[in-house]
């Protein structure tokens, strides 16, 4: 069996792309999207007619509604290509507005439901800011399942679990990027491979914390730079993987034992249970993030990048000819 087939024995494999034709090659269970991925897919010649058909009667609507229509159009095609769920992202520009985030999430779910999709097949992606987590808590109480993204710190994971969030996406590659850049010339790639990769280590710690304390929140590793990072997290609840890395896994042979399990012993690397036992209020999470330079910088950067890509998508749609 190739490595992708073996990985599927332990972990739910998720495709990280808006290219629904490409998704079918790897038979994932779920798929995730974001504005960057939708823009990349929408610009392909193969999807031009889908874009034009989607916007044909929506050109006079506000741009945010046109973008929503496009997100749903791709989401519907993705759902035709996977048996499970699709993650559709709330505009990152709303990341610090709880009410607006919640309202946008409800609008997206309503659009899916109007197209005949059961809400259980949709995860609403929301940035894991304090405001985003509170919005997700309210949405979850109403049966709208959320995927909290741009998650870099244990305090974010703990707050999400306490809020009853369905799924969290701790980022592996962006954490790795930060530590490598910070270390500069002193970075030792071999010494930071496998379970010693700082991004892998973060997901392992979060996974162990939630599983060992009985929280149902699903953990989905995201943002991978190499297959090595993916293989080091075999056994995680879910992993969302780009098509190029899915292809590499599909073409590679070897033996892949599970690396994560609920009762694994991380030794001194175990996160303290007080992360979950104590009340997690706004001041505590903001202070904890402030104390974590990596999480602070990568969360802010991630929001900026997703917001910029939403702007690029809007500009591209505005300039798109009607036929």
Residue 119's nearest CA partner among 157, 166, 161, 74 is 166
* CA 90 to the chain's CA centroid: 12
Q: Which domain holds residue 237?
A: 3-319
Active site residue 40: no
Number of domains the chain contains: 1
Phi, psi dihedral angles at 155 (to 5 degrees): -65, -35
- Residues 6 or more apart whose CB falls under 8 angstroms from that of 249 comprise 2, 3, 4, 7, 227, 230, 241
Q: Are 192 and 198 in contact (CB under 8 A)?
A: yes
Q: Are 163 and 144 in contact (CB under 8 A)?
A: no
- Residues 6 or more apart whose CB falls under 8 angstroms from that of 117 comprise 76, 79
Q: Catalytic: which of 8, 40, 125, 181?
A: 125
CA distances from 5 to 1, 225, 240 (A): 6, 20, 15
The CB-side HSE value for 233 (13 A sphere, CA atoms) comes to: 36
pLDDT tens, residue order, the chain (323 aa): 999 999 999 999 999 999 999 999 999 999 999 989 999 999 999 999 999 999 999 999 999 999 999 999 999 999 999 999 999 999 999 999 999 999 999 999 999 999 999 999 999 999 999 999 999 999 999 999 999 999 999 999 999 999 999 999 999 999 999 999 999 999 999 999 999 999 999 999 999 999 999 999 999 999 999 999 999 999 999 999 999 999 999 999 999 999 999 889 999 999 999 898 777 899 999 999 999 999 999 999 999 999 999 999 999 999 988 76
CA distance 73 to 115: 10
Tell me the per-residue pLDDT of 55-77, one tens digit each, with 9 for 90 and over: 999 999 999 999 999 999 999 99
Rg (CA), the chain: 19
Tell me the per-residue pLDDT of 87-101, one tens digit each, with 9 for 90 and over: 999 999 999 999 999
CATH number of the domain at 302, please: 3.20.20.70
* H or E segment and range at residue 149: strand 146-151
* Assigned token pair, 18: 């808006």
Phi, psi dihedral angles at 255 (to 5 degrees): -110, 125
DSSP 262: T
Is 127 in a helix, a strand, or coil?
strand
Q: State the angle between helix axes of 63-79 and 48-55 in degrees (0 to 180), rounded to the nearest 10.
A: 130
- The DSSP annotation for 51-119 comes to HHHHHTTTTTS-HHHHHHHHHHHHHHHHHTT-SS-EEEEPPGGGTT-HHHHHHHHHHHHHHHHHTT--G
* CA 83 to the chain's CA centroid: 18
């Amino acid at each position: 069996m190739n490595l992708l087939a073996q990985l599927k024995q332990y972990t739910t494999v998720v495709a990280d792309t808006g290219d629904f034709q490409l998704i079918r090659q790897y038979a994932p269970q779920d798929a995730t999207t974001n504005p960057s991925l939708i823009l990349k897919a929408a610009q392909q010649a193969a999807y031009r007619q889908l874009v034009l058909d989607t916007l044909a009667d929506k050109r006079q609507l506000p741009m945010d509604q046109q973008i929503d229509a496009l997100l749903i159009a791709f989401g519907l095609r993705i759902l035709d290509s996977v048996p499970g769920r699709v993650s559709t992202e709330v505009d990152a520009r709303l990341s610090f507005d709880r009410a607006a985030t919640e309202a946008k999430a409800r609008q997206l779910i309503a659009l899916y439901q109007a197209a005949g999709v059961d809400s259980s097949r949709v995860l609403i992606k929301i940035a894991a800011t304090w405001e985003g987590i509170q919005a997700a808590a309210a949405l979850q109480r109403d049966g709208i399942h959320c995927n909290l993204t741009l998650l870099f710190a244990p305090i974010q994971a703990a707050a999400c679990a306490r809020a009853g969030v369905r799924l969290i996406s701790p980022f592996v590659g962006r954490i790795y990027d930060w530590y490598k850049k910070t270390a500069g010339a002193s970075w030792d790639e071999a010494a930071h491979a496998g379970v010693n990769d700082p991004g892998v280590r973060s997901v392992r710690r979060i996974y162990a914390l939630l599983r060992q304390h009985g929280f149902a929140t699903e953990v989905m590793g995201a943002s991978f730079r190499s297959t090595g990072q993916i293989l080091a997290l075999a056994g995680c609840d879910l992993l969302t993987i780009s098509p190029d890395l899915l292809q590499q896994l599909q073409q590679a042979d070897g033996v892949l034992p599970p690396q994560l399990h609920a009762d694994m012993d991380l030794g001194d690397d175990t996160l303290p249970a007080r992360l979950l036992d104590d009340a997690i209020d706004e001041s505590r999470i903001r202070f904890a993030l402030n104390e974590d330079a990596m999480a602070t910088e990568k969360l802010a950067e991630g929001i900026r990048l997703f917001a910029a890509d939403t702007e690029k998508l809007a500009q591209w749609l505005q300039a798109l000819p009607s036929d």
